[in-house]
Amino acid sequence: MSDTESQPSDATLAHATASMAIGIHAPLRVRAGFDVPFEPFAFVRDGVPEGMMIELVRALIERTGRTCEMVPMHLPDCEPALEAGRVDALAFKGVTTERLARMDFSDPLIVSGGATFTRPGLRPSTRLADFHGARAITTRDGPFWRLLEREHPAIALSHGETYEACLDAVVAGEADLAVLNLQAGAWIARQAHPGRFELPTAPCSPLTVAFCTVKGRHPALLHDINRALAAARADGTWQAIHDRWLA
């Protein structure tokens, strides 16, 4: 090889070595899907993916020596796209029992969870049992639908296409509460309905959020993401990104 020919970077060589050690090839360019809109975690502004999870996951992928393509999609399309191989990973997804049967997850990116966004006169609560007999709305493809359906059949459950639609239904009197992700629900409520909700401050159902792949498909990638995440927590990168979006 001549001096003018390009040579692999140290990060790329380290990635290749780790991949061979684990025994599974991992992509050097990672296509990571994410659902939008899901502010402040992920959204698209002027055609550019932005948000806390977009910034964090992009930084983690780049630390592994790979490049990344962030692929926005609607929530119902995310898991089918992952399973069909149209994306290599999902940038972030809640860890549930149902998903663990089909997906491998990284170490936690953040601990989030479901929270209650209630109509005037009905206070938020971290106990879903407090809303038995009430009308709740959430997205059918999110984790809280199955939780409510399975553990709280005394709550009358309806389906909203998006978080915005769920909050709109509460404001219109069509539901007593929306059960949504704590951070994303609060962000959207402040933007779409300022002053209309008493915003929850704690989840009623804690949920770990992590990077994920199809089960068994990319163990080397997950191994490297976990190492990058540990380094980002140790050197303050994780905290800086967190505070920039959520503090």
Give me the residue spans of the domains in the chain: 21-110+208-246, 113-206
Token pair in block for residue 48: 């550019």
d(C-alpha 8, C-alpha 224), whole Å: 18
User: What's the CA gap between 73 and 109, in Å, rounded?
Assistant: 20
Q: What integer pLDDT is reported at residue 177 of this predicted model? A: 97
Q: What is the model's pLDDT at position 37?
A: 80
The amino acid at residue 61 is I
Question: Does this chain's domain 21-110+208-246 share its CATH topology with 113-206?
Answer: yes
Q: How far is CA 228 from the centre of its chain?
A: 18
How far apart are the C-alpha atoms of 30 and 63, rounded to whole Å? 12
Q: How many CB atoms lie within 10 A of CB 7?
A: 9
- Return averaged pLDDT per consecutive 10 residues of the chain, 247 residues in all: 40 43 64 92 95 98 96 93 97 93 97 94 93 96 89 96 94 97 92 92 91 96 98 98 90
3-state secondary structure the chain: CCCCCCCCCHHHHHHHHHHHHHCCCCCCEEEEEEECCECCCEEEECCEEECHHHHHHHHHHHHCCCEEEEEEECHHHHHHHHHHCCCCEEEEEECCHHHHCCEEECCCCEEEEEEEEECCCCCCCCCHHHHCCCEEEECCCCHHHHHHHHHCCCCEEEECCCHHHHHHHHHCCCCCEEEEEHHHHHHHHHHHCCCCCCCCCCCCEEEEEEEEEECCCCHHHHHHHHHHHHHHHHCCHHHHHHHHHHC
Q: What is the dihedral of CA 14, 18, 19, 23, to 10 degrees?
A: 150
* pTM as predicted: 0.74
Whole-number pLDDT of residue 25: 55
At the topology level, CATH places domain 113-206 in D-Maltodextrin-Binding Protein; domain 2 (3.40.190)
Level-2 CATH architecture, domain 21-110+208-246? 3-Layer(aba) Sandwich (3.40)
